[in-house]
Amino acid sequence: MEQAFFLLLAAVAVTAALLVVLARNPIHSALALVACLVQIAALYVLLGAPFLAVIQIFVYVGAVMVLFLFVIMMLDVRKEAQVRFLRGPLLPGLVVLAVLAGEMIALLLHSTRLHAVMGPGQPVLEQPSVADLSLLLFQEYLLPFEVASVILLVALIGAVVLAREDGASAAKAARKEPRGAAR
Amino acid sequence: MIPTSWYLILAAVLFVIGGAGVLLRRNVLIVLMSLELMLNSVTINLVAFGHVLQDLRGQIIAIFVIAITAAEVAVALGILVALLRNKHSLEVDELTVLKG
């Protein structure tokens, strides 16, 4: 039963991921990525990490992807989508990807050390609870947690500064505008 | 009971698809989205290993990855908006300001 669920989720996730890369319209890509991220959240539930699944949906689907969709719709990039792939030969990139994929699949299938770590898939004894997770996060990993919050604050300020118009050019635009409007 | 190698293979497949998006697509927005996909595939690995080894640290690191990704996307989209305002282009092969 679990395996059937996993196969269903994995198939949808891979299809959505292919759609992200192949879609012509950036909005379609973003929506396919939302679908893929929801599948991955469901996989976290299968892995016994329901809290992480909720975080994934809140942060990725709720915040990050909505930000992406806002930017896509605000910038009106539909005319940019005529040429999907880079100009020039695509062969070097494809070779790099093929080597990467071959390496990873070979490692996963044939590495004895990895299989020694993973074992034959023993049944899980007891599911760790959210309380255990929070204790570990707020005791052992308290400093990284605070650093992450500082990083988020810095990113917030940086995004505002970057996306704001320049003081000088904004003033120029404001000076130009009323004259044009009066005519 | 799902074998752990299934999770790892799924993560590898998603990672390669995301890498294809980063290496081959022309639109900066799609490149950023493919980057998200690659980060997510790595997070699957972390959580899968945490599950097998009965260790919560995989989930902790996954939470940090998600938080840092949110920060990265905010800054990247800010840069992108500024870039579009100055260069009127979103295509990676036309953005060669740093080339000198």
DSSP labels, chain B: ---HHHHHHHHHHHHHHHHHHHHHB-BHHHHHHHHHHHHHHHHHHHHHHHHHTT-THHHHHHHHHHHHHHHHHHHHHHHHHHHHHHH---BTTT--GGG-
pLDDT band of residue B53 (cuts 50, 70, 90) is confident
For residue B44, give the nearest of A40, A108, A158 by CB distance: A40
Rounded distance between C-alpha atoms, residue A80 and residue A73, angstroms: 13
Record: contact B24-A93, CB cut-off 8 A:
yes
Architecture of domain B4-87: Orthogonal Bundle (1.10)
Record: contact B78-A160, CB cut-off 8 A:
yes
Half-sphere exposure of A14 (CA within 13 A, CB side): 12
Rounded distance between C-alpha atoms, residue A159 and residue B71, angstroms: 9
The reported pLDDT for the residue numbered A171 is 58
Burial class (CB in 10 A: 0-12, 13-18, 19+), B51: buried
**Residue numbers in A near B27 (CB within 8 A):** 26, 77, 80-81, 84
Q: What is the pLDDT of residues B31-46, one digit of tens each?
A: 999 999 999 999 999 9
- Work out the mean pLDDT of chain B and round it to a whole number: 88
For residue A183, the distance in angstroms to the closest alpha carbon of chain B comes to: 26
The reported pLDDT for the residue numbered A122 is 57
- Taking 70 as the pLDDT cut, the residues of chain A under it are 77-82, 118-126, 166-183
Which residues lie across from B25 on neighbouring strands?
A85
Rounded to two decimals, the pTM is 0.86
